[in-house]
Amino acid sequence: MLWLTARAVVRPLSSPRLLNCLSMPHCHTPRNFGSETEVVIALGSNLGNRVQNLTEALRLLEGARVKVLGHSCLYESAPVHLEDQPFFLNAAVLAKTSLSPTVLLDLVKSIELDLGRDLSNNAMRWGPRPVDLDIIFYGSKRVHTERLAIPHERWHIRDFVKAPLANLAGLQCCEGTDVQSMLAEASRLWQEEGGEALIGSRQLRRVMPFGNELLEFGKCTKVMGILNVTPDSFSDGGLFNTVDLALAQARCMVEEGADMIDIGGQSTRPRADRVPAEQEVERVVPIIKALREEPKLQNILISIDTFYGEVAKEGVRAGAHIVNDVSAGKLDRTMFRQVAELNVPYVMMHMRGNPQTMQQEENTTYRDICKEVGEELQCSVEAAMSTGVLGWNVILDPGIGFSKTHAGNVQLIRGLKRIWHEGLSGTCQQMPRLLGVSRKGFIGTITEKKDARQRDVASAAAAVACVAGGADIIRAHNAGFTRDAAIMADAIYRKK
């Protein structure tokens, strides 16, 4: 199902409807500057650019003193009641606001009108709409008036609402809130009815926006080809640092089965010298533009591998679809803001320290590596979401080879499922997972191959173990070997 690429539209809160709704006369305390209350709001759309509609609705909410704390994943669902209409995209957010329930209702209805929804008496009750916003919970408050019912009267009978609510129930930012018990009840109902077993059918599937389409993970492993345009990367430095060489390598990887190309202009091998953002832009932007103009690569997703917010911005402007950040926002405080504004998929990798310090003992020591890596990723993701990064845009990478010993890398791969189920919770458990094991040093140690380019067979074997542990995307230098390995791993480990 195709849709136009959604770029963030930062728009001031200027609509008269949106401004006026904050000072309605029926509110006893206009603008209600009292204490803040946690609320849960469900979002849906089935007309126009559905992803952009949801994104814009959230931005308008945030512009009216509704602070979003966390997001669910994104779900596509078949329409109910009136079946002859497009499929819906659905999500939910946990937020806090000082607005009263009535003023909040006025706000969400104003946003619906501003984004083109027909709220007149002539509109079909169950008909298509650009955006649909529902207040599901407002703290522990119960409201029953002619205009408003809280909790929402039908939340418990709709799978496309319960699935997002179950995501929110496991977020750390939910703990200790007034809505925690109600979200826990939603999660319990969802699990009793089947939970994850209900995801993946025509009626309800979990999706992520990539370029011009929505991708569903869990059925087929994707291969991300590595294209380093650097002079000093550990296995291919200097081999592809011109436009012609990079194009030739990209074509080769796509012919071998790569679904994505990850372009890096800075080596992140241990103790590598840091390149300034300006130099990184000079290296990667011409390559990205050339790939986007290459007829044979029009359907390939392009990722920009950087920890600089400025490079991410310039890379996406040049045509990249994905930002791949080895630091999960820790090495550049502008990264979260940039990714939020770019509104593209964002790979968040686990790493302690930086490439110069990550292999020091204090950064490679863990009590329980699988659980701690998951917990630290969870903290990074929730920080990103509170800064505006959409939860349904996040991909997780446990960071094989980064701030881990050789033995730690093996333990991490062996215990991948423990990361997802013990270290992570809520929305983070359901996010797509990327693993990069290709030609890493621990593979050289185990196989006794000093030349990194001789590690491709062993890397493919490690990729199979990663798929068995739940990986959705494998990042690889040799796309052909990895594609074949992923096909076999899918046949053995993926549910049909």
Q: Copy the structure tokens of residue 489.
A: 């791993």
Q: Indicate the burial class of 124 (C-beta count within 10 angstroms; 0-12, 13-18, 19 or more).
A: exposed
Q: Copy the structure tokens of residue 467.
A: 């798929």
Instruction: Cite the beta strand spans of 385-494 per DSSP E.
Output: 394-397, 434-436, 473-476
Residue of 296, 297, 340 whose CA lies nearest to 319: 297
d(CA 291, CA 246): 9
d(CA 7, CA 319): 12
Q: Would you name the residues annotated as active-site residues? A: 440, 475
d(CA 14, CA 483): 50
From residue 271, give the alpha-carbon distance in Å to each of 18, 157, 238, 360, 445. Answer: 52, 54, 18, 10, 18
d(CA 25, CA 34): 17
> Tokens 């990074």 map to which residue?
380
Q: Indicate the burial class of 388 (C-beta count within 10 angstroms; 0-12, 13-18, 19 or more).
A: middle
